[in-house]
Structure 1
Amino acid sequence: MAGPGWGPPRLDGFILTERLGSGTYATVYKAYAKKDTREVVAIKCVAKKSLNKASVENLLTEIEILKGIRHPHIVELKDFQWDSDNIYLIMEFCAGGDLSRFIHTRRILPEKVARVFMQQLASALQFLHERSISHLDLKPQNILLSSLEKPHLKLADFGFAQHMSPWDEKHVLRGSPLYMAPEMVCQRQYDARVDLWSVGVILYEALFGQPPFASRSFTELEEKIRSNRVIEDFFTHPWVDLEHMPSGESLARATALVVQAVKTDQDGDAAAALSLYCQALDFFVPALHYEVDAQRKEAIKAKVGQYVSRAEELKVIVSSSNQALLRQGTSAQDLLREMARDKPRLLAALEVASAATAKEEEAGGEQDALDLYQHGLGELLVLLAAEPPGRRRELLHTEVQNLMARAEYLKEQVKMKESRWAAETLDKEGLSESVRSSCTLQ
């Protein structure tokens, strides 16, 4: 191998060019395959003389893990070779550099961009954890971008990775202190969940431009990181929303929901059909983002346009039906109130239900109305259970059923509104206004 300043080493089959980065044990070069394809790769050169027993074990684990996995958001190990001086890992080349540089050149990332990146990182991490693999050195410098034009995250540098079941516990200090979970920093036993702490630190850095626990010393860092808070269930968090991440499955899931929507529509259940059409649109949006073939993308857009039009028609039908039901229930509610004059607790619960109905009619009041419905129903269900048989019990039972139906209806509308991000991403596809109006009932 050539020494420092003498240029990159020589490796059969490849032309090594510029240096992309270097660490304690390795230097990474951009390289071209000498074959006809002239494929661009990144070659990680590890000097044998720099390796001790622990680093040899780490390198072998890295090779073994990466050779056994393939995932769109994990950097691919294409091959590895060695000679008398070096071990060479021939990796997928990521032209966009690392996430640290990407964040710092932009100071902060917009929430929409950070969310897409988090989905991709979560997808890779979930894939690893399902195979009992923990990365243990998650940080922006170890996350690469496929390109700058249309960046996709690629998790890289598995030098500290370990095979760990969720219940396995380790105590060896690994990774970078700024991104370490408290149990690692404090040199206690830890398990696979330490990766999730690192993800949280990375997200904070993406949104605010610097890590949350920047410190002048390790002691100060340890004091800042100490906390007893439980890490939430990251993979199922609605903000991450892995279910609607653009993937090869998005179109199939959208199509399956549309098939159900059409059948339900033909059966005359307008409300259920509208709900299914809107659920399908939640998958058509990522399907459009995933599709690269222009002709297929246009075909999907045309279909989505048809479904949006039908959803608009169903919206009118469902809205009219709900208003009619609301009017029908008014006289029964008045009678129930009259019969509840001697029951202050029942009257108070009915007032909460009335407030929910009034809030529902306000523009943008869906979530507040839903909270009121759920509060009122909680009280009314208790009272219904204690109410003796008779006319008042029958009216109360009917009122609870109506309120539960309204609450379920509103819950669906709130869920649809929460897909605003998906609709906003369709702005570039020219369909956002239609999707937003079809999936938001007044």
Structure 2
Amino acid sequence: MAGSGWGPPRLDGFILTERLGSGTYATVYKAYAKKDTREVVAIKCVAKKSLNKASVENLLTEIEILKGIRHPHIVQLKDFQWDNDNIYLIMEFCAGGDLSRFIHTRRILPEKVARVFMQQLGKSPLPQPDTRDSFLPIPLLPGLLPTDFGFAQHMSPWDEKHVLRGSPLYMAPEMVCQRQYDARVDLWSVGVILYEALFGQPPFASRSFSELEEKIRSNRVIELPLRPPLSRDCRDLLQRLLERDPSHRISFQDFFAHPWVDLEHMPSGESLARATALVVQAVRKDQEGDFAAALPLYCKALDFFVPALHYEVDAQRKEAIKAKVGQYVSRAEELKAIVSSSNQAVLRQGTSARDLLREMAHDKPRLLTALEVASAAMAREEEVGKEQDALDLYQHSLGELLLLLAAEAPGRRRELLHTEVQNLMARAEYLKEQIKMKEAHWEAESLDKESLSESVRTCDGTLGCFCSLPAPS
């Protein structure tokens, strides 16, 4: 075996061809097995001369970890070899290229596509985050190949001469500053990758190494650009991932449970079945005339129909599902008008009780303020397209009212306050459903045939037949 020269290295049993990508320590080539099957693989060539003793040990650890992983979102390590010049990792070939190229060729990823990366990360077999050594098997949309992310995270950031090692753009500040660090550095790296996916460049984009190091070492809070606009949950996750102080950074548990990551609605072979089960219940309630119960069931079903559309790769099946979804959205809109009218009637009926509560709150300025915020929420709800603003006001008001209710002594004022809290909570929950339904409708309508189909695996036939979906009432 030989690994010298300007062309691809030579490796027994394989023919190495085009270069797929390169990182700080490795170059990845497309290769063909010489045996009869002519299997296509990707071979990651790590130059021995770039490794110190600790780096070799870390690479061996990475190999041991990857050898034991069989996961649809992590590229499989099939085998490894070595010669005098290189260590060769023989890996599953994925035609979509590496994650970095996927981001760079598209410049900026839509938020919904970036979420798929985070969902797949949440479903990946990360190690227990209680050790100093960190390993992050960056998961990818099936069809994408990682090059240097995982290995860079496993490298010691400083060599014997205190020269920065690894991929500093993705390194947490505590690594660069030579402080003690643990697996929470992986959460920082996830934040950098998400930032780059959404904004087209990493948060510490720099013209020189010295500028980069200065930015990493700085104590300045990382500010998120205003464009493109992101959802509140997405911005919250980014800010919590890119927290310089690891003790204040989001935990692994909270990352996996974060509402933006939303693992429950990750596109999978189960998405359509779960959507169908919910829509069957919705139609049943609809037929029974229980519109208040049917509406949220339609909305919850839409939350699973959208990932089902992302997962489906057959164009005809996708269009058929979209047609059914359109019917459910139309019926949900009709129910929305009915239920909204009923809810508004309930709120109007509570006007006299609300006025009485205000009169009884003359000695409670916090209560008066919270009630005024609730009134502002009701007014904002009447405005077209202001559902999210209204929901924010309702939630702010309820946060105060619930604290006041807990401290209120038994009596008439407490009874009125309890009723008002119940009414406002019902209204807030209703608005949440409407916002989710509108988002699901928009996403289903805007989903084109090329959205994720170029990088998802072939449908395995486990989705079931869309013909079984019931017609709305």
TM-score of the two chains, using structure 1 as the length reference: 0.72
Give the direction of change, closer, same or farther, for the CA distance of 1:427–1:147 in structure 2 (3 Å limit): farther
Q: Any conservation in 2 of the 1:45–1:87 contact (CA below 8 Å)?
A: yes
Q: Any conservation in 2 of the 1:21–1:27 contact (CA below 8 Å)?
A: yes
Q: Deviations over 1:35-65 (max 9, x none)?
A: 5543321123456788764444233223211
Secondary structure in 1 matching 2:37:
coil
Quick one: distance in 2 between partners of 1:58 and 1:119?
27
Q: By how many angstroms is 1:105 displaced?
A: 4.6
Q: Any conservation in 1 of the 2:175–2:181 contact (CA below 8 Å)?
A: yes
Q: Any conservation in 1 of the 2:46–2:87 contact (CA below 8 Å)?
A: yes
Quick one: distance in 1 between partners of 2:90 and 2:455?
47
Q: Deviations over 1:348-398 (max 9, x none)?
A: 554443333222211123233334334444555566677777766655544
Farther-moved stretch of structure 1 (103-112 vs 228-237): 228-237
Quick one: distance in 2 between partners of 1:157 and 1:297?
35
Give the direction of change, closer, same or farther, for the CA distance of 1:216–1:120 in structure 2 (3 Å limit): same
1:8 to 2:29 alignment: no
Q: Any conservation in 1 of the 2:367–2:404 contact (CA below 8 Å)?
A: yes
Secondary structure in 1 matching 2:32:
strand
Q: By how many angstroms is 1:291 displaced?
A: 1.5
What is the aligned length?
417
Secondary structure in 2 matching 1:248:
coil
Give the direction of change, closer, same or farther, for the CA distance of 1:331–1:430 in structure 2 (3 Å limit): farther
Q: Deviations over 1:193-242 (max 9, x none)?
A: 11121222223333444333244665543432236699994444444433
Structure of greater relative contact order (alpha carbons < 8 Å, 6+ residues apart): 2
Q: By how many angstroms is 1:430 displaced?
A: 13
Q: By how many angstroms is 1:326 displaced?
A: 3.0
Quick one: distance in 2 between partners of 1:238 and 1:203?
15
Secondary structure in 1 matching 2:253:
coil
Secondary structure in 2 matching 1:429:
coil
Quick one: distance in 2 between partners of 1:431 and 1:85?
39
Give the direction of change, closer, same or farther, for the CA distance of 1:175–1:271 in structure 2 (3 Å limit): farther
Secondary structure in 1 matching 2:56:
helix
Quick one: distance in 2 between partners of 1:404 and 1:8?
64
Farther-moved stretch of structure 1 (275-284 vs 342-351): 342-351
Quick one: distance in 2 between partners of 1:32 and 1:269?
61
Q: By how many angstroms is 1:323 displaced?
A: 2.9
Quick one: distance in 2 between partners of 1:432 and 1:361?
40
Q: By how many angstroms is 1:183 displaced?
A: 0.7
Q: Any conservation in 2 of the 1:75–1:154 contact (CA below 8 Å)?
A: yes
Quick one: distance in 1 between partners of 2:84 and 2:101?
34
Which of 270, 292, 317 aligns to 2:338? It is: 317
Farther-moved stretch of structure 1 (40-49 vs 380-389): 380-389
Quick one: distance in 1 between partners of 2:287 and 2:35?
58
Q: By how many angstroms is 1:170 displaced?
A: 19
Q: Any conservation in 2 of the 1:171–1:188 contact (CA below 8 Å)?
A: no
Farther-moved stretch of structure 1 (64-73 vs 216-225): 216-225
Quick one: distance in 2 between partners of 1:340 and 1:237?
37
Q: By how many angstroms is 1:180 displaced?
A: 0.9
Structure (1 or 2) with the larger CA radius of gyration: 1
Give the direction of change, closer, same or farther, for the CA distance of 1:344–1:308 in structure 2 (3 Å limit): closer
Secondary structure in 2 matching 1:435:
coil
Quick one: distance in 2 between partners of 1:232 and 1:17?
42
Q: Deviations over 1:3-40 (max 9, x none)?
A: 53375455454333234456676553321234554332
Give the direction of change, closer, same or farther, for the CA distance of 1:159–1:268 in structure 2 (3 Å limit): closer
Q: Any conservation in 2 of the 1:72–1:154 contact (CA below 8 Å)?
A: no
Q: By how many angstroms is 1:275 displaced?
A: 1.0
Q: Any conservation in 1 of the 2:22–2:28 contact (CA below 8 Å)?
A: yes
1:72 to 2:100 alignment: no
Quick one: distance in 1 between partners of 2:401 and 2:125?
57
Q: Any conservation in 2 of the 1:73–1:155 contact (CA below 8 Å)?
A: no
Quick one: distance in 1 between partners of 2:161 and 2:182?
6
Q: Any conservation in 1 of the 2:310–2:451 contact (CA below 8 Å)?
A: no
Q: Any conservation in 2 of the 1:19–1:30 contact (CA below 8 Å)?
A: yes
> Map of 1:237-256 to 2, 5 A cutoff?
237-256=258-277
Quick one: distance in 2 between partners of 1:206 and 1:322?
41
Secondary structure in 1 matching 2:88:
strand
Give the direction of change, closer, same or farther, for the CA distance of 1:389–1:155 in structure 2 (3 Å limit): same
Quick one: distance in 2 between partners of 1:355 and 1:262?
35
Q: Any conservation in 2 of the 1:95–1:148 contact (CA below 8 Å)?
A: no
Secondary structure in 1 matching 2:46:
strand
Q: Any conservation in 1 of the 2:52–2:159 contact (CA below 8 Å)?
A: no
Farther-moved stretch of structure 1 (108-117 vs 155-164): 155-164
Q: Any conservation in 1 of the 2:42–2:93 contact (CA below 8 Å)?
A: yes
Give the direction of change, closer, same or farther, for the CA distance of 1:150–1:101 in structure 2 (3 Å limit): farther
TM-score of the two chains, using structure 2 as the length reference: 0.68
Farther-moved stretch of structure 1 (391-400 vs 340-349): 340-349
Give the direction of change, closer, same or farther, for the CA distance of 1:271–1:426 in structure 2 (3 Å limit): farther
Secondary structure in 2 matching 1:378:
helix
Q: Any conservation in 1 of the 2:204–2:215 contact (CA below 8 Å)?
A: yes
Quick one: distance in 1 between partners of 2:446 and 2:148?
31
Q: Deviations over 1:236-273 (max 9, x none)?
A: 44444333332223223323433443454456532232
Farther-moved stretch of structure 1 (223-232 vs 245-254): 223-232
Give the match for residue 344 of structure 1. 365
Q: By how many angstroms is 1:187 displaced?
A: 1.0
Quick one: distance in 1 between partners of 2:455 and 2:204?
44
Q: Any conservation in 2 of the 1:170–1:191 contact (CA below 8 Å)?
A: no
Secondary structure in 1 matching 2:42:
strand
Quick one: distance in 2 between partners of 1:396 and 1:356?
17
Secondary structure in 1 matching 2:18:
strand
